[in-house]
Structures are given as structure tokens and as C-alpha cells.
A = this chain, B = another copy of it.
Amino acid sequence: MPPLPDAAAVADLLARATDGDRAALARLLSWVERGGDGAREVARAAFPKAGGAHTVGITGAPGAGKSTLTNALCGQVRAAGEQVAVLAIDPSSPFTGGAILGDRVRMGDHTLDEGVFIRSMATRGHLGGLSLATPEAARVLDAVGYRWVVVETVGVGQVEVDIAGAADTTVVVVNPGWGDAVQANKAGLMEIADLFVINKADRVGTAETRRDLESMLALGAGHGTEGWQPPAIVETVATTGDGVADLWAAVQEHRDRSVASGERDRRRSDRARTELREVVEAWVREQAAAKCAGDAWDGAVAQVLNGTADPWAAAAALLRDQD
């Protein structure tokens, strides 16, 4: 692990990344993944430069075709003359060698395109986990100039669903077939969706899946409240590109609408609040870990073991002494 970057080194990396140096950008993102002081230094530098990007979350069950769809969507963004960065969240483990390779292969269309930056994200020690590391990484991509940041997660597990739902526009991908929409509902995906994609829409069951989605939306929380607009439902075949232009149009439409209504700002405020709470918790957790070592800690353990203090009394003394 390289030495911790100081403020000047981070500013230099950020300037180079803004000029298109992808290696510099990759190093910044590695610092974010590692967490700790390095991640904080990067967050500090990126924060004032960020805010211009629109983030798009893409989620759905494994095998729904999210990566192929993300790939195709990147093509649309590039055709519109804009730059796009993709964060592919790998929930499996800190060991993402395979995943990085897999994503590179699947997203092969854009590996030589300087206007597309693709990164498989993992947390290598970030105390806040993916739910803190992902917005920090997205902020770096935003700060260096990408106007579109796509965050792709598997819609399995609360952390991944929450991460996808924390985007400015959240796209939920389902497939035709009995029960897929119902599964999405169970996984909490109905609540976070700004847009639905029925991918693999050349298969049987597309019309039924659309009806399932529509009837679940009609029962949903937002229905009937003033100004509420149901999420659009787009049909695609990501492998052929069919419908991907519709998806791109729907994403832009949602962005324009949420900016105009103030909804995007409201959500960003909520997210800032959530992120600050998570940062406080991560920091306090770090302090707690620091208290569970050293002489005072050994003394507290000894007191519990010889029966002179119960665990709560020993902990209280430990926290009091070191405050």
C-alpha cells in the first residue's frame, strides 16, 4: 500500500484526472475504497468540485441483463456527446479480481473509448462499507467532470438496493415472466424505482410483466398523492439495442422533471443527511475500536475477569478515561 496521500498529492491527482488521466482517477478511487485518512483526504478535495453530475442507479436481480443494458446506455450517452462513468458494485467480497475482469469483458464495447470510464468497486477496509464508499467514489467521478455517473448494483441485499436507490434516477431492471415483477416488489425495488425496464422484452410474458408492474404501482405508496407521476416502463432488448434509445430518453426526461420540480434537490438533501449520519457512525466506530486496545483496555478486561467490575461498569470507566 502506497504512503498516505497529503492534500497536495490529492489535489495533483484530481487535477490530472480532470485533464483525462485515467490512472490518476483510478488511484483516487483506490484511496476511497481503502477508507481511512486517504479516503477522507480525497473526499475533502472532491467535495467542493462536485454537484454537476446526474447519477443513475441501475439494479435488478442477477441475470436480468444489467451490465449489457449499462453498456448499451453508455453508447447512447456517448452518441449524445457526453461523458459517462460506471461504478459496478461487487457485493461478493473484498477480492474482486474476477469481477473486474468479468465487467471488462462484458463492457468490452467501451474499453478503448476515452469518454467512458468503468470501475468495479469494492471496499478494501472502508469503515462505512459500500454505502459510504459508493457516494464518495461517485463524487470523485463528478468532481473530475463526468456529467453522467451510472451505479450498477445487484438488487439483492439491503445495502445494494439502498445504494441503487440513492441515485438521482433509479432504474429497476426486470425480465418477462411470471413472478419477476412480484420478486422485485418483495426485494423493495418497487419503492426505489423511478423507471422500470423490462429487459429481454423479445421473450414471452412481456405484456403480463408490464401489467404486473402497473397493478403493483397502482397499489403503491405514491399513488393518488398530488403531483405524483408513476414511473415510466420501458421495454428493451439490451443485446440487440432495441429500446435502449427509449431508456435514454426516459432517463433524461426523469432528470429534467426532477430538476424542474425541485425533487432532485430534495433527495440530495435527504442523502446528505443520511451520509453525514453514516460518517459520524463510521468515525465513532473507529474510536470504539481504538479504545479496545492498550493498557486501559487490558485493565478493563482484567477487572471483568477477576470480578471487580461487570462489563458495563468496565466499559463506562474505559470510555470515561479516554474521552
* Chain A interfacial positions (CB closer than 8 Å to B): 40, 43-44, 47-48, 51, 269, 272-273, 275-277, 279-281, 283-285, 287-288, 291-292, 300-301, 304-305, 307, 310-316, 318-319, 323
Are B285 and A272 in contact, with the CB atoms below 8 A? no
> For the complex, what is the distance from the CA of A196 to the CA of B43, rounded to whole Å?
51
Q: Are B272 and A280 in contact (CB under 8 A)?
A: no
Expressed in whole angstroms, the minimum distance between the Cβ of A54 and any Cβ of chain B is: 18
Q: Roughly how many angstroms separate A301 CA and B274 CA in the complex, as a whole number?
A: 9
B284 A314 Cβ-Cβ under 8 A:
no
Contact A272 B310 (CB under 8 A): no
In the complex, A304 Cα to B139 Cα: how many Å? 13
Known: A269-B305, A305-B269, A323-B323. A311 touches B276 (CB 8 A): yes
B284 touches A319 (CB 8 A): yes
How many subunits of this chain does the assembly comprise?
2
* Contact of A44 with B310 in the complex, beta carbons under 8 Å: yes
On whether A311 and B43 interact (CB within 8 A), knowing A269-B305, A284-B287, the answer reads: yes
B311 touches A272 (CB 8 A): yes
When the two chains form their complex, are residues A319 and B273 in contact, meaning their CB atoms are under 8 A apart? no
B318 engages A280 (CB within 8 Å): yes
Q: B40 contacts A312, CB within 8 Å? A: yes
Q: Are B284 and A280 in contact (CB under 8 A)?
A: no
Q: Are A310 and B269 neighbours in the complex by a CB distance under 8 Å?
A: no
Residues of B within 8 A of A47 (CB): 307, 310-311
Enumerate the 8 nearest inter-chain pairs by beta-carbon distance, A residue then B residue, closest first.
Answer: A47-B310, A284-B288, A279-B315, A279-B311, A40-B312, A280-B315, A272-B304, A277-B292
Contact check, B288 vs A276: say whether CB atoms are below 8 A apart. Answer: no
Nearest chain B CB to A280 CB, angstrom units = 5
Closest B residue, CB atoms, query A323: B323
- Known A272-B304, A301-B272; judge A280-B44 contact (CB<8 A): no
Q: How far is it, in angstroms, between the C-alpha of A301 and the C-alpha of B279 when the chains are bound?
A: 12
A311 near B48: Cβ-Cβ < 8 Å: no
Q: How far is the CA of A197 from the CA of B316 in the complex (A)?
A: 41
